[in-house]
Structure 1
Amino acid sequence: MAPSTFIATKEHRRFTEFANAVRRQRTIGICYGQAGIGKTLSAKRYANWSPKAAALVEEWGRREDSDLQIYKDLAKTRTVFFTPGVLTTPKQIKEELSLITNRTSICIHQHLDTLGVTNGPMNQDKHVELIIVDESERLNATALEVLRDRYDRNNIALMLIGMPGIEKQFSRYPQLYSRVGFAHEYRPLAQDELHFVLQRKWRALGKTLDLEDFTDTQAVAAIARITRGNFRLIDRLFTQMQRVLKINELDTITDDVVEAARSTLVIGIS
């Protein structure tokens, strides 16, 4: 199955509003939610942190003409997306974050320079307004203090994304928590949004979802029960459903097809 096209759900729009508020107020925001429901996808979409943009900033190789579009995209939200490694030390986090923030700022400066709107020489971090840190439950107390100190010194807004419970975990660090301006829970797909997403998924398989059709309704109910609105699990399930349809030369998505696909997956949602 081809990589999924991004679907702008209500939760993504709520995330965008949250990120804009954090960036505008130059504060610290905490976003939490279950694994696989779309937090990382929304954050990368907001930051325009495409695979090409990430490769450009992280590898920092030769410039190409196509990079100009990446500069333009990064300049729209002036946001850095960063994921710390599992065993990354606080010192490495400080160095890596400084490096990609500086490089992102250079990219934005390059775009502004083509428009003739740059103001003075290029300074480190000058054009970055928000840093998003994904998988933030990986951060220990020292790493959090590094981020807090960076926030205090540079006045760049900071968003920490992680699993449910990080908002309570971070409350144990008063120096950081006292600076938190917003907290946002990223929720699973509601029923109407699930139907909207499934219509797109049916269409990707060359089929039409008809909620007035009993067979389709049964299949949708099975998917809702299995995935509970979890975006990543829906993707995984449809990959297996496509395989089941092809192997068995079937044309219709039924609840039996859904259950057959589900039996091939290891599923665990807290």
Structure 2
Amino acid sequence: MNNFIETKEHRRFVEFCEACRKYRYIGICHGVPGVGKTMSAKTIASWYDVEPLLDSIREEIKIETEINKSQLRTIYYNAPTFGTSRIKKDIYNIGLRLKYLEEKIMIQSGDESFQLKTRLKEMVDLIIIDEVDRLKLPGIEVLRELFDYTEIGMVMIGMPGIQRKLSRYPQLYSRIGFSHEYKTLGEDELQFILENRLREISNYKGMDHFENYEAIRELIRVTRGNFRILDRMLAQIERIMKINHLSSINKEVIDTAKSILVIGK
């Protein structure tokens, strides 16, 4: 399982996905790289717990993870860079494996009332397609056809500008009900997260300590609310502190971590 932090932006994304699920619409989510779109999507689908089990459903192993049926109603799928004709088959097979996993969990719990259903709309009620930017017209058409055929809620995740790309395909675009921008962390929330994480890896004493204040302000400046950069910076800071047997954080540690990372504009 990942070290997931539930942010305001994640909660907004959850509300957006649940609206697509409930009203069976297509929704578009867009945001700059590294803000947490993929992590949020996988968390909603319980994919960090579920995906490792999908390849072992036919093996005689007991499932120890705490997974309930409601967590098996969402498919997370990464759009392929080629072979778009297989998209429908891939998604159907994931749905089928989710049902087999549900069957296995219920049998292990002693519940024999399970009935295997093989229509995709009976297996899942939300499909999240990540990195939709990869798809060209044939792939987009496959998704439109899949949505028309199943009437399952669908969320498409991509980079800023994905709306303009999809607007060139009116048959799909006319079916889009919601749009959501996944934004970077606000400064207050970023500071809150940083203070909590720094307490875990150092003897952080609060913002009233000048060294701590300087370190926090520098981290806010460098990461700019980008979750991926924040995570990579904190990992490097922790590594540098361990190597140098440091217990407190300061700007020099941050500068060293920054010099190691490749941080784009």
Structure 1 and Structure 2 fold alike (TM over 0.5): yes
- 2:118 maps to 123
Deviates most, 229-238 or 101-110:
101-110
- Letter paired with 1:199: E
1:208 aligns with 2:208: no
Q: 1:244 to 1:96 in 2, by over 3 A?
A: same
- 2:217 maps to 221
- Letter paired with 1:62: E
Secondary structure of the structure 1 residue equivalent to 2:123: coil
Secondary structure of the structure 1 residue equivalent to 2:47: coil
- 2:75 maps to 80
**TM superposition shift of 1:266:** 0.7
- Letter paired with 1:79: T
- Letter paired with 2:10: H
Q: Output the CA distance in 1 between the equivalents of 2:176 and 2:257.
A: 43
1:39 aligns with 2:37: yes
Q: Output the CA distance in 1 between the equivalents of 2:70 and 2:102.
A: 5
Aligned partner of 1:178 among 174, 178, 191: 174
Aligned partner of 2:59 among 62, 65, 76: 62
Deviation digits for residues 130-172 of structure 1 (CA, Å, limit 9, x no counterpart): 0001111111111011011010001111100111111111111
- Letter paired with 2:98: T
- Letter paired with 2:100: I
Q: Output the CA distance in 1 between the equivalents of 2:32 and 2:14.
A: 18
Q: 1:54 to 1:259 in 2, by over 3 A?
A: same
1:96 aligns with 2:94: no
Q: How many residue pairs were aligned?
A: 262
**TM superposition shift of 1:67:** 6.1
Instruction: Extract unaligned runs of 5+ from structure 2.
Output: none
Q: 1:121 to 1:80 in 2, by over 3 A?
A: closer
- Letter paired with 1:28: I
Q: Output the CA distance in 1 between the equivalents of 2:146 and 2:249.
A: 52
**TM superposition shift of 1:116:** 6.7
Secondary structure of the structure 2 residue equivalent to 1:263: helix
Q: 1:239 to 1:76 in 2, by over 3 A?
A: closer
Determine what percentage of the aligned residue pairs are the same residue: 39
Q: 1:116 to 1:27 in 2, by over 3 A?
A: farther
CA contact (8 A) 2:204 2:212 kept: no
1:153 aligns with 2:152: no
Q: TM-score, normalised by structure 2?
A: 0.90
Q: Output the CA distance in 1 between the equivalents of 2:250 and 2:148.
A: 55
Q: CA RMSD in A?
A: 2.2
